[in-house]
Amino acid sequence: MDKSLSEGTMDKNEHVKYRLKCCSPEVMISLMIGDSGETASEYGGVIIKVLDPGRFPWEQVFRALLKLNHEVYVEQQDDSLIIISKPKVD
C-alpha cells in the first residue's frame, strides 16, 4: 500500500485522486456528482442524468470524461439534461 495512505498523511483531494484511478468511469463520475445526478454504464461509456444543475460539477465531469478519451454529447430528455459519453475509436 502507498506509504502516505497507510500513514494517513494524504489530504482529502489526493485520496480522492488515488481512488479515482482505480474505478470504472461510471463509479468515478458517480463519486464526483454525488446526489446532483445519476449515472449508468453503457458500452464502455457513461450516461449521466443531471438532477440538480446548480450543484452539478460541470467542469470536473467534462474534464474527467475528456481525460478518459471519451466523446461527449449533451441531450435534453423531458426536462432533464443528459450527458452521454463513449470511448473514442481510433
Helix/strand/coil for 5: helix
User: pTM to 2 decimals?
Assistant: 0.74
- Residue 44's φ and ψ, nearest 5 degrees, are 85, -5
Q: Is the pLDDT of residue 11 over 80?
A: no
pLDDT band at 1 (very low <50, low <70, confident <90, very high): very low
The alpha carbon of 14 is separated from its chain's Cα centroid by a whole number of angstroms, namely: 16
Per-residue model confidence (pLDDT) at position 23: 77
- As given in the structure block, the three cell numbers for residue 59 are 467542469
Per-residue model confidence (pLDDT) at position 90: 73
What is the per-residue DSSP string for 40-81? EEETTEEEEEES-TTT--HHHHHHHHHHTTEEEEEEEETTEE
Q: Is the pLDDT of residue 85 over 80?
A: yes
Q: Is the pLDDT of residue 29 over 50?
A: yes
- Render pLDDT for 42-80 as a digit per residue (tens, 0 to 9): 988 999 999 999 999 999 999 999 999 999 999 999 999
What is d(CA 26, CA 65) in angstroms, rounded to the nearest whole number?
10
Domains of the chain: residue spans and CATH: 3-87 (3.40.109)
Name the one residue in this structure whose C-alpha cell is 463520475.
29
